[in-house]
Structure 1
Amino acid sequence: MAPGRQWESPAATHTRAGTAAFHGGEGRAMTGDQQAADRLRALLERARWAPSGDNAQPWRFRMHAPDGIEILAADTAEEVLYDYHGGASLLAVGALLETLRLAARASGQDARVETVQRAGHELCVRTRISPTDDPEDPLHAAIERRTTHRRALSPKPISESDRRTLSEALPKGYELIWRLGWGQRGRIARLLWRNAGIRLTTPEAFPVHRDAIEWGARESRDRIPAAAVGMDPLGLALMRWAMRSWRRVDVLNRYFGGTWLPRLQLDLIPALFCGGHFLLLAPSSPVTIDDHLAAGGAVQRLWLQAAAMGIQFQPAYTPIVFHRYVHSGERFTRAERPWRRAQRLAAFLEDEFGTETLPRAVFMGRMGYGQPPQARSIRWPLAELLVD
C-alpha cells in the first residue's frame, strides 16, 4: 500500500490549502533562536525514520521554535484502496509520534501531543517539546535500524521468552496472538496466498503496486527498492515488464498463471519459513483518531523491540483491510472475482481468529530469526520534509 504518494513533491499542498483550514491563512514563520531550532531539527532527523506504507511518508513538518512541532499529514483513502477510511495513514502518523517521543526522551525531553485536528483528508498534530526527568526508553536505539524483511527466515519458532519480551514492549491493554508451528504457519500461508490473489487481480490496486517499487535500486528514499521486494531476478524481470500496464498484468493473470510466481515467492514461502505470525490487538475496537494514533504507536514499539532483539519483521496488513471492507459491505473493486475472494478470505480470517477478536485487530505480520536484509528503504532528507 502507498498512502501519501502525492507527497513525493514537497510542493505545498499543506502550505497553500491544507494548513489554511487550521491556521486561517498562511503558516507562521519559524520563531526562536537557532539553537532551539537545531534541537527541534535533531529530533525530526530521527522521527522521520518512522515506517509508512510503501515508504510513502505521508507527512510534512513545521517547526515553531523554541518548543513546537506541527505534523501535517494527509491520507489517501479516496485513491488507495489499502488506506481504508484513512486508517493506514493514521497508523503511520501514530508510529511517527511514538518515534518522536522516543527520540525526545533520549535527549532528556518529552514530546507531548497538544491538539489533533482533522479537516477532510488533512490532519494537523501539534506537539510540544519540554524538558523531563523521565529516563530514556531503550527502544530509541533501534529507530534507524528497524527494517522490513521480505524473504525466507529460520523456521525456528519465536521462543516463549522472546514473545514475552515483545509483549512487554506494548502499551497497556495491547496483546499479541501468535501462530508458530508448521501447522499454524501453514494455515496463515494459505490465508496469505489467498490474500495475494486478491491484491494481484484487483485493477484498482494496480497503480499502488506500480508506483511502490524503485527498479534497479538497493535503497530508495521514497519507495521500496527492487532488491528489497523479495523476488529472484527472473521474478523481478517479469514483474517489471508486467507493471508497465494493467493490460499486461491482466493477460498474464488470465492465460499464463501470472499470480503464481509472485504469490509463491512473496507470500507462501516467507509465510512458511519464519518464526511465527502475529495478530496485534488493541484494548478495544479502534474508532476515534486517537485510537488509531495509539495503535500506530503500539505497532512501532513492537517493531522496534523486534529490531532491538535482532528479530526480523514483515507487515501483513492487507488481510485486515479486506476483512473491514467485507464486514462493512463496502466494495473496493468493480471486478467481481476479487470481491468474492475477499468474502472467502474474511470468512477464513474469522475462522482462524474468531469474530469477536477481529474488531480489535490493528496489525498483522510475521517475525523470524535471521540476518538483516541487504536492501532497504531510506527516507526523504529532512530538508525536503520541512515547510514554512
Structure 2
Amino acid sequence: MSEAAPSPDWYALLERARWAPSGDNAQPWRFRILSSHRLTIDVHDTSHEVLYDYRGQATLLAAGALLETLRLAAMASGWNVDTESVHRVGGLLRVTLRAKPWEGEPDSLHAVIESRSTHRRPLSPRRFSVSDREVLEDALPCGYRLLWHETPLERWRMARMLWRNAGIRLTTPEAFTVHRDAIEWGVRESADRIPAAALGMDRLGLALMRSAMKSWRRVDLLNRYFGGTWLPRLQLDLLPALFCGGHFLLLSPQPAACAEDHIAAGEALQRLWLRAAALGVQFQPNYTPIVFHRYVRSGERFTGAHRPWSQARQLADLLDDEFGESVMRHAVFMGRMGYGRPPRARSIRKPLAELLLE
C-alpha cells in the first residue's frame, strides 16, 4: 500500500494563528477546515458597530495580520499557505487558503507569535540604535517604509497631536459603547477584551474610569464640568507619547484602494510588530488619528455631535501639516515603540474551539 500524502495539522497551525492582533481583541474571524489542504476564514466586518473601523479597514488590517501569522506558523511546520480567493459574502469577508509543502527555511519571526503584545505605559525615551532601526525597517515587504519621529521636539509634537486625538475619542457619544465594551475589569488577562490592568492607568484613574463608564450621561457630565478627559489623556496619551523611543508612520507603496491593499498592509504591520518583539522593543498602536483623518477627508461624519467633528477636522489639518498630504494618502498605520520591560497585563485569545466552524 502507498502511504497517504502528508497534510498540514490545521489545528496546530490555527492554535498559533489565533494570536494575531485585532482591534480591542475582538477576534472577528472564524475558521472552517474544508479538507486536508484547504481552509476558509470568515472575517466579520465590524464597521457598523465600531466607530474606529472606518469602511471595515481596521478589520482588513487585522485580517492581514492573521494571514501573515498563519503563514509564518505554517512555514515553521514545513508548509506554505497560499490565498486562493478573497470575496465578500454578505457582511463577511471570506478568504480561502490552500496549503502546499514548503521546503525553504522558516522565518524566525514565528518564534515570537505568542509573546508579541501591546505596551501602553511610558517607555524609555532612549532613541533606537541604527542597527535596531535597520532591522525593523528590513522586516517590511518591498515598497513599505517607515517615517520616524524620534527627537524630543518631534515626540512633543506627536504628544500634542495625540492629546487632541484623545479629546475626540473621549467626547464622542458614538464611541462610548465601543470603549465600555472593550474593557474587562479586575483581571490581568482577557480572552476577548482588553484587561483594565493593561490600559496604562494607575489605580485612581482606573477607579474613576470604571465609575464614569456606567453611562454616557455620567461621562458627559464629568467631561463638561469636571475636566473628565484630563486624567486619561495625561496617562494614556501624553506621557506615553513623550516617553518612548519614537513614533512611526507605516507607509504603503501606493494608497490603499481595495480590500487586498488593506490586507497586504496588515501583513506588513504584523511583520513589523513581530520584529519589534524579537528585538525586545515594546510596541503600541496609535491608529485612531488615521481613522479620523480618513473620515474628515472623505466628508463622512462619524458623530452627530458638533465639537468632536470640528476637532477632527483640525486634527486632520495637523496631520497633513506634520507629515504632508501626499504622505497621509500612503499612511496605513501609526504607532510608537521603545525599549522597556514587557507588560505585566495583556490580552490573550479565545480558545480555538470557539473560533472553529463546523
Asked whether the two chains share a fold, i.e. TM above 0.5, the reply is: yes
Match of 1:351? 321
Asked whether 1:42 is paired with 2:17, we answer: no
Q: Give the superposition deviation at 1:37.
A: 8.0
User: 3-state SS of the aligned residue for 1:357?
Assistant: helix
Q: Is the 8 A contact 1:36 1:65 kept in 2?
A: no
Match of 2:259? 289
Runs of 4+ in 1 over 2 A off after TM superposition: 34-38
Match of 2:129? 159
Q: Is the 8 A contact 1:37 1:63 kept in 2?
A: no
1:311-356 CA-to-partner distances (Å, cap 9, x unmatched) read 0000000000000000011100000000000000000001110001
Q: Is the 8 A contact 2:83 2:97 kept in 1?
A: yes
Q: Give the superposition deviation at 1:78.
A: 1.6
Distance 2:180 2:277 in 1: 29
Query: Which moved further from structure 2: 74-83 or 188-197?
Result: 74-83
Distance 2:103 2:260 in 1: 26
1:199-248 CA-to-partner distances (Å, cap 9, x unmatched) read 00000000000000000010000000011010000000000001110001
User: 3-state SS of the aligned residue for 2:223?
Assistant: helix
Asked whether 1:74 is paired with 2:44, we answer: yes
Structure-to-structure mapping, 1:160-239, within 5 angstroms: 160-239=130-209
Q: Give the superposition deviation at 1:134.
A: 1.7
Give the counterpart letter for 1:85 in structure 2: R
Query: Which moved further from structure 2: 86-95 or 159-168?
Result: 159-168
Corresponding residue to 2:65 among 88, 92, 95: 95
Q: Is the 8 A contact 1:40 1:65 kept in 2?
A: no
1:18-61 CA-to-partner distances (Å, cap 9, x unmatched) read xxxxxxxxxxxxxxxx9978711000000000000000000000
1:88-127 CA-to-partner distances (Å, cap 9, x unmatched) read 0000000000000000000111011101111342111000
Match of 2:271? 301
User: 3-state SS of the aligned residue for 1:284?
Assistant: coil
Distance 2:239 2:64 in 1: 31
Structure-to-structure mapping, 1:244-259, within 5 angstroms: 244-259=214-229
Distance 1:180 1:244 in 2: 38
Give the counterpart letter for 1:54 in structure 2: D
Asked whether 1:142 is paired with 2:112, we answer: yes
Q: Is the 8 A contact 2:116 2:274 kept in 1?
A: yes
Asked whether 1:325 is paired with 2:295, we answer: yes
User: 3-state SS of the aligned residue for 1:340?
Assistant: helix
Asked whether 1:130 is paired with 2:136, we answer: no
Give the counterpart letter for 1:351 in structure 2: D
Asked whether 1:366 is paired with 2:336, we answer: yes
Give the counterpart letter for 1:207 in structure 2: T
Distance 1:225 1:330 in 2: 32
Distance 1:159 1:176 in 2: 15
Give the counterpart letter for 2:77 in structure 1: S
Query: Which moved further from structure 2: 48-57 or 112-121?
Result: 112-121
* Structure 2 CA distance for partners of 1:350 and 1:35, relative to 1, 3 Å: same
Structure-to-structure mapping, 1:108-123, within 5 angstroms: 108-123=78-93
Give the counterpart letter for 2:28 in structure 1: P
Q: Is the 8 A contact 2:16 2:114 kept in 1?
A: yes
Question: What count of residue pairs does the alignment treat as equivalent?
Answer: 355
TM-score, L = length of structure 1? 0.90
Q: Is the 8 A contact 1:37 1:65 kept in 2?
A: no
Distance 1:299 1:121 in 2: 24
1:172-222 CA-to-partner distances (Å, cap 9, x unmatched) read 000000000111000000000000000000000000000000000100000
Q: Is the 8 A contact 1:117 1:123 kept in 2?
A: yes
Give the counterpart letter for 2:78 in structure 1: G
RMSD across aligned positions (CA) = 1.2
Corresponding residue to 1:106 among 76, 93, 109: 76
Distance 2:182 2:122 in 1: 21
* Structure 2 CA distance for partners of 1:35 and 1:80, relative to 1, 3 Å: farther
User: 3-state SS of the aligned residue for 1:356?
Assistant: helix
